[in-house]
Amino acid sequence: MNDLDWSKAAVLITGGTGSFGKKLVEFLLAEKRPRKLIVFSRDELKQHEMRQSFPESPDSPMRYFIGDVRDKDRLTRAFCGVDVVIHAAAMKQVPACEYNPFEAIQTNIIGAKNVIDVAIDNGVERVIAISTDKAVGPVNLYGATKLVAEKLFVHGNVYVGARSTRFACTRYGNVVASRGSVIPLFLRQREEGLITLTDPAMTRFWITLDQGVRFVVRCVEAMKGGEVFVPKIPSMCLGDLADAIGNGCRRKVIGARPGEKIHEILVSPDEARHGVEYDDMYVIYSANPWLEAPQKNGGVPLASGFSYGSDTNNQWLDLDQFKALLQ
């Protein structure tokens, strides 16, 4: 695969009006300056609001497409002439996926299949999907759909045959202050003086939106096809998180919600058999015998039985570090 020249590339972001998509657009325009940058999403209002910050004009790289990843015909039109696709569209709220399972499957699995098929048919060079720690040993429908999507993207590299399209995934933990996460909830509850905790001992991986965007862009540049890229990021337990946000507030422990784990895993022991470690990330390679043997470029093979869990992590956020992230 040739080196990526962003200045000559047409880039499309599915789910481009979400928190990640908006930050990615901001970063790409400022630092990579692609020839064309297409936001693909189904929310007309969010696209209108996004245009106020990133206008669409003849001399601007910005383009906006209304569409849904469930609609293969619309994807086919949108992917025409595109070089790079960053697939961020998903249903990601655990309770919403549990209550609307068929809808989650339509978006997260069928949508992923559509992206793969259309990318191959249109000759897109690189496609990378955004995944989650909840895809590892999933206990809820959201995690299960993202696990299937990961498998589709990795094995899509076999499905392409002799064509040049390549697929990879990035997988990371909770994004600090993203919409629907526990942090905005705690910030609202702080005003009322009562923080509701599922379990103070619950741990999660944390990454900022800016860190996530930079990591994904770096992986787009590095991918050869078939990798799952996992950044090394810190953990924090929910009790400490509540102290950082609502120090002095009363607490109420309400118990874990259906489909929630106490701890998350980003690399499982079985995946570690095909993984390598770099200074700031792990890369999991496919064991599919039909894929080319990966070029591991100096990575250190992971030890037998290695697991990267939020409770066994060697990086932890203290209260001051977390408060700095919130800024």
Catalytic residues: 134
Q: What is the sign, positive or negative, of the torsion defined by CA atoms of 113, 175, 180, 141?
A: positive
**Residue matched to tokens 């209260």:** 319
Q: Which amino acid is at 318?
A: D
- Burial label for 36, CB within 10 Å (0-12, 13-18, 19+), is middle
What six digits make up the tokens of 322?
Answer: 């977390």
DSSP annotation of 40: E
CA 291-297-303 angle, 5° bins: 85
Q: Are 209 and 23 in contact (CB under 8 A)?
A: yes
Q: Which amino acid is at 117?
A: D
Q: Are 220 and 302 in contact (CB under 8 A)?
A: no
What six digits make up the tokens of 58?
Answer: 């003849």
Q: How many residues does the chain have?
A: 327
Q: Which amino acid is at 190?
A: R
